[in-house]
Each structure stands twice: as C-alpha cells, then as structure tokens.
Chains A and B, each alone.
Chain A
C-alpha cells in the first residue's frame, strides 16, 4: 500500500489566527482505496484542517497535493474541482427540489434557450444512484427522504466529479444502525474504486469497523498515524489526550444529606404525567430515557420555563411555585441546558461576561458592574474547572465544546445553587473532556450539591448516578439504585417493556 501514489497528501500545513496556532505543521497522506480516520479532541484542529482542505481557509504554510499535483484552493468550488469532496454532518440540500436537481445543482444539463435537459439529467442521476444501490429515484423530492437517504444524495453529488478524496465529517451522527450499514457499504464501494477517504468520527466502534489507518491531531499538531489493525482504543485515546483516561467510576462514598428537592405528581399535559421523585444533598439522580420521554421537559418545569398543570415542588421542605428562570435561580435551582450553543451561551460575548450573566445585577460598585469582582469569579472557576482559554476576554464561540460546557457549569456553580440540573452534560464533547466533566459531577455531589443528570447515553448515567430514574413516554417507569441497576433492565424500562411486569411483581 505504501508504494501507491497518495490520493491526498498534506505537508507541514500551518494555519494561525490572532493568538492561536490552530494548525501547527500537519502532515499525513491518504492513499487511494484507503479509509483514513482523522481523530482528535474538539479544538485539536480537525475543523480548521477541513476548512483548509475545503478551500475556505488558506494555509499560511505548507502544501496540499492531490494525486502528486500540488494544488491551491481559494474556494469550495475550486476544492471540488480539484477532486476533494465533502460529505458534511449538516446536510446542505434544497429540500423542495428533486433528487436529480440537487445532485446537479448549478450544473444542470441544458438544451437550447437554457432549458433544462431533463432526459439527460435523469439518465445521469440514475447511473449514479444505481452505483449507490439506493431505493429512491431521480424525481423524488429530497424533503420526503429520510435523513440517511438525504445523506446518500450528498454522496451522489460527490460522485458527479472525479473525486480523488472524499471527506466524511461525523456522517453517522443522525443515522440508525440499519442506515449505518448502508453507509458503510457505500464507503466500501468508494474504496474499491480507488478513492481516498478521510473519515472523521468520535465513535471508536466505527473507527475500528471501517478504517485502515488513523491519524491523530492534538492542539493543532500532528501526533502520528496508527494502523487500525495493530492498535487499540487505549492507544488512540492516549495519543488524543496525551495521558491515560480513567473510565472507572469514582467510588468515593459520602453521606447523603437532607432532601433538597421533592417533586410530587408533577404533570405538564401532553408532555409528562404524575412524576414524583426526590434528590438529596450529595446525591446524583440520573434521568435516563429516549429522546421525547419527557426528561428535558421536567427540567424545564423545575427551571420555570413551563407551567405545571398539576403537582407540587418542595425545595428544602418548603413548597415553591416557579414562574420564570429568574425565579428558579433566586430559589437556588440552576440548569445547564442540553443545547449549549442555543440555550447555554451567548457565543459573541466573552468568557467572563457569560459566566457572570445570572448575577450581574449583584456584582456592582455604585451603578456600574464591578470589573474586579467579575474577574475574580471568572478566575476562581477557570482554575477550579480547568477551563482552557487565553483569557476572560476570549469570545466563548472560539472555545472548544468541552471548555464551553465548563463555562456554563462555572456560570451555575458560581451561583451556589442547592439543586443543579445538568441536561446532556457531554453532548458533542470529546472523550477527554467528557471524563473530566463526569468526575466533576461526582465531585460536586461529594461537596453536598443535589445534582440531577439527564442523559441519553447509558454509560454516562451509569457512571455518574447514585440512583437512576428510567422514563418512557412521559412517565417514570422505575427507579434504580447504582447497586441494583443493570444495562438490561434499564433498557427494558426505557422501552416500556418492563413496565407491566414490574408493577405486577
């Protein structure tokens, strides 16, 4: 394999932004017919590298070579013309148009007077679709297709050019298991045709299933290339984060305190019904269930974003009614929301201002915000949570996902809440930061916080929770303790299978 001419070669690619060396001499090559994984934590430089390959950024130094021809790309169109094609995580299709129109968008075959040559268009589209073995036709409206099939349309679009290298960016993020199989078949076909493939994913299982080699980036630097067959998860992770990863559950036991939050018969019509639970100080209560089971909606009710239609909420033994987030915050309830960028942060604001936003009214000297007090809070939580940022003036939007999440967590810890609700604590966060956040949640409980963790990832709830509430379709099916829970009965509970059996027993 090493004799072949690389389909795509990177030599010493450097890209700097003011204050950041985003790519620091990245070199590796992708051979024809190879699936080459690109891995690295968020912020390692993968996205920047992709933008360089896609013609969106120009590298400051270094050379990109496609099939031994040095190339310079000043726009996405040029990149495509040179044979570098992207399959993006977020689809960029015109949903109102047909499959054929989408595939040849911008290059529709024409007849005289600029009329579209539909016969040629459909014939060419059919040819490509047959290569992909898909179950839809050129005339189908893209908006009617499943997400997986829409992705196939993107891939079909990639096949219209003479692609030398195809880059898949987290392609399985929204696919079901069955759909993944189809995708992997297509990738295998591309491989047979001698196309070089770069495959970006956080999912180890996929990496081992389909890739041939793995290149790792860390802090903008190239850290090495591993042969998939000769490596293991541990080695990759170590290369990615520069240390060994502790995945065991910290078993430091600590005494539980009084009940901090007690919920009885809470109902929001149409979303969830008759939900009762309590959380003690020093305890992590996990909420596990499928998307749409009502978990986030319960959190939103506790945080004053929804009005309950029935039920009571007691905080430290006292019944409370919560009408707004400001109410909830004043009573000591904090929410780290599931959508970090949409709900958690003002991306255009700096780190400090984001962190102190809920208490900015109280941080004043005379009529003005007290800069010193704010910076003190920021410094305190930057150190405590190990937030990596050049300084408080940095725009939050420029941080990696893990550091962004820590800003949100710091924001709420600095409010010293009684109850901390964390909704999907590690969504979209790389493996290194993930375990840091898990440890942090355990540490917070040990310090006496009552913590609610909502998660769709089973290893996560199992790792951080003292007790686990399993929800299905707006109802609590069962509550497990860390000692009694098993993966099997947890899965049964959240799919509604165990419900009748349990209550009968």
Chain B
C-alpha cells in the first residue's frame, strides 16, 4: 500500500476516478461501454504517438518532429497505395519504413553533432513538414483506397444499443493496446529497454558500463518514427481524409499527456501504464466537458487546470517524500533492516 501511494500512477488514476464520478453524476451517459469504446478508439491516435514520445522522454531526449513524420508517412503511403493498389499490411509496413528512416535521421543528427534534441527536432519538423507542403502543394486526399474504409469498420467485439445500433471494440483500439503491451515488455524485460532508462538516467555512466549510446539514441528516435507512422495511418483510418496539416500542431498535447502520466522531461523515468493514464485523463477531461454541458469557451481553462493539479500534486508529493525520507528508512521490511544492520556490523 505504501509503495502504491508513492507511485505517480496512483494519483493520476485517483484523479481519473474522481473526474469520472463527477461527470457521471451529471450525465450518466459518460460511464457507458459505448462512450468508453468511442474514447478508446478516437484516442488511439494520440495514444500511439504517446508510446513513441514516452521512449524518447525516458532516454532523456525530446522530439517535436513526430507530427511531421506521421503526416509524411501517412501522405506518402496513401499516395502510393492509391497508385499501386496495395493492402492494409503493405500500408502499415511502408509507413513504418518511412517513419523509421525519418526518426533515425533525427537520432543520428542528435548523436553525431550533439545538437540539443529540441533544436534538432524543431529543425527537422520544419524541414520535413516544409518539404511535404512544397511537394504536395497542400493538396488533400479525399478518396482513400477502399480497404482503408473497410479496415476501419472492423470491430473485434460487437454489441448493440437498445436502438439496435452496433458499437464495440474497434480494431484501431486493439492496435493501440497491442503496441502498448509490446512497448511495456520491451521496456521492462529486455536489455534494450533497460538501456533506454540507463542512458536517460546518466549517459556517462551508461557509456561506462558498455551501452552503445549512439545506437540507443538512433533506436529511440527511429522507434518514435515508427510509432508516429503507425499513428499516421490510424489517423487516416479514423478520418478517412488525408490532410497535410491535420496532425501538425498536436505535438504539445501528446507530450503533455505523457508527462501527465509520470514521465520526466529530465529522462530516466516513465512507464507505459502511466502514459496510458495520462492520455486517458486528458481524453476524459475533454470528453467530459461536452457531456457536462460546459460552454466551449471554458475548455482550455479546464484542460490547463487539470494539468496543473495532477502534475503539481504528484511533484509536491515527491518533494515531501524526499524531505521525509529519513523516516522511510525505519519503515523498511524486516529483511532489509537485517541487511542494513549486517552491513554496519
């Protein structure tokens, strides 16, 4: 229990629960399976981007260019698919390839020239996005290949409302969850994953214990690129239109969601579960405001307040626990106490 109270995730979860209770008391339609499934579907896009951002933040970096990467992967893939036919699997593979390439360029530039990641990725964001606008001339793609529509309609579980309308768990939600499970396993159980925490915690120490820092950096940004690319395709599936400017501008929302979920901008800290909660907290606040009939002018005010309250509360907790850490020593388990005593004697 004590351990649980120390975790940032616990607080985010608590805030989510409190919010859900408030919203449900005003509008019972909030806590329905249908609304939850809709939320999980429409936030899959932000959520997949968030997985990539989480990796980058854990490694001690930051990426601003992922929205541009996502747009390029989405745009090029759809253009090629329209030309040659292709299939959904081909679309995902091609997008991921483009994403990895663009991400790896970020990683290489950051490591090779030691430019601060924020500057590098602001530069590549402008470069990538600018090139896309130059070559696409801002043209929108209204008609996607037919399999984009049929794939987006797939449901893994279908239920019916009392009016007989179908709803359920979308394939898009499943993709998001599968990626989160994979990312989680990678971070917790593999040498690769642990190395990301290591370089985020202290890059020099990581180098000394034999972690190949350049490889890790390129890997992290390439991974971000791959996630951005998948998110780009998911966005096309959700909206059924590809617009060169529809993703750019959402970077800060995604980064905010990941930081809300407990990842540190200083690196070395963060979990997939926390990130998921962060994404859902923002989603629920935005969803809840319409459901609670709050006038639209107040939306931004509430989003700002929620971020301050949730991040502020857990930081304040963390600060307090540092101050009281002396007391914590006495609350260790008997075994640990034994070993401490043993060390002294």
A binds B: no
